[in-house]
Chains A and B, each alone.
Chain A
Amino acid sequence: NAGVTQTPKFRILKIGQSMTLQCTQDMNHNYMYWYRQDPGMGLKLIYYSVGAGITDKGEVPNGYNVSRSTTEDFPLRLELAAPSQTSVYFCASRTQGSGNTIYFGEGSWLTVV
């Protein structure tokens, strides 16, 4: 069972570079989320999607973009990377409805230098 798969697991970026964090889920979940977790802190919502073609901003969207062209994929794009984007990024998914479990990916460790 693959669940939620994130790639890459580790990445070092230089300031000003761009990259895409990939997230794929094979559970046919319509809700997907991107969170970031800074060291010793909680999770902050970057973007979320309630279905293919629909995305919305979370708490900390600046510097990021997302797309949701299919149910399975929810990539997160970092444009012009900054040191403040050094963090661990988690993708998550779940089905719509009350009480359903949210499944998290393993995380992507990103360092911007």
Chain B
Amino acid sequence: ELKVEQNPLFLSMQEGKNYTIYCNYSTTSDRLYWYRQDPGKSLESLFVLLSNGAVKQEGRLMASLDTKARLSTLHITAAVHDLSATYFCAVDMAVGNEKLTFGTGTRLTIIP
């Protein structure tokens, strides 16, 4: 059974600082997704990572994937208040068996 773990679960950081959220998964996969969820809202797609070494960036967020280590990171650069949200990673089991499994989520609070 695929398990997806994120850490930290909660993160409070000051504006302007950098930090990284980690996503570990238990079985082989080369497809990883990052989502953002604002309170009371649905999930918004941020990144789709499809191969070992994949790196994608959008604004102050950068995601990377290391399939050998079964690890993805979401790096936040010079955080701003608007980035406060809960961030989820999710992993596919395999082609043809695409049960998307979500991590526990990281609740990020940016303090002015």
Which residues of chain A have a CB within 8 Å of any CB of chain B? 31, 33, 35, 40-45, 48, 50, 58-59, 90, 92, 96, 98-107
Contact = CB atoms under 8 A, between A and B. Distances in A.
Contacts, number: 48
A58 B97 CA distance: 11
B43 A45 contact: no
Interface string B91-112: 0000100111111110100000
Given A90-B42, A102-B33, A103-B45, 9 more contacts: A31-B98, A41-B105, A42-B105, A43-B43, A44-B102, A45-B100, A50-B98, A99-B48, A106-B42
B25 interface: no
A98 B42 contact: no
A48 B102 CA distance: 14
Nearest to A100: B48
Contact of B48 (A41, A48, A101): A101
19 contacts: A31-B98, A33-B100, A40-B107, A41-B105, A42-B102, A43-B88, A43-B90, A43-B102, A45-B100, A45-B101, A59-B101, A90-B42, A92-B100, A98-B31, A101-B48, A102-B33, A102-B45, A103-B45, A107-B42
